[in-house]
Amino acid sequence: MQFANKDELKEAIREYAIVQGRNVKLVKNDNKRIQAKCVGHTKCPFILFASKIDKDEQTFSIKTLSLEHECTRVDKLKYINSRWLSKRFADKIRKNPEWDVGAFQSEVLEKYHMNVSRHQIYRAKSLSKVIIEGSYVEQYARL
């Protein structure tokens, strides 16, 4: 399994952690290697190790991968923050800027089995607004 660059690989790990509800943490993160472990359980066998295929290229390749877990799902992760929420739900916020905070919370719980605070939802909505307004300004500036 290969990834175009380190950011893409990290994004995939984050998405995996969120969807699986597992506390996956990067224990090594430099320009050549990425290693992720699950810190949800002391003996959790989950492991991911990836390295650059060539020092002159950006491509990362997964060398070791064990998707097995002995831990159980968690409903809070540090990966789930306002920035992530604002990106993940950008379309929906754009279509419905008055989206109710409680309804937004329920949707995150339903889709990702994650509990987020009202404060995180408020922040996500205002971050999204900045992005949307920013892009209008950009479009306008092009004229």
Residue ranges binding Zn ion (CB under 5 A): 22, 38, 40, 44, 46, 69, 71
Q: Closer to Zn ion by CB, 32 or 76: give it.
A: 76
Question: Closest by alpha carbon to 103, among 125, 87, 77, 70?
Answer: 125
What's the min distance (Å) between Cβ of 73 and Zn ion? Answer: 9
What's the min distance (Å) between Cβ of 110 and Zn ion? Answer: 23
Collapsed DSSP state (helix, strand, coil) of residue 143? coil
Q: Closer to Zn ion by CB, 39 or 90: give it.
A: 39
Exposure b/e, 92-128, CB count within 10 A at least 16 = b: ebeeeeebeeeebbeebeeebebebeeebbebbbebb
What's the min distance (Å) between Cβ of 17 and Zn ion? Answer: 10
Q: Closer to Zn ion by CB, 36 or 85: give it.
A: 36
Report the residue number whose CB is nearest to Zn ion.
Answer: 38
Q: Classify residue 16 as exposed, middle or buried by CB count within 10 Å of its CB (0-12, 13-18, 19+).
A: middle
What's the min distance (Å) between Cβ of 123 and Zn ion? Answer: 28
Q: Closer to Zn ion by CB, 15 or 133: give it.
A: 15
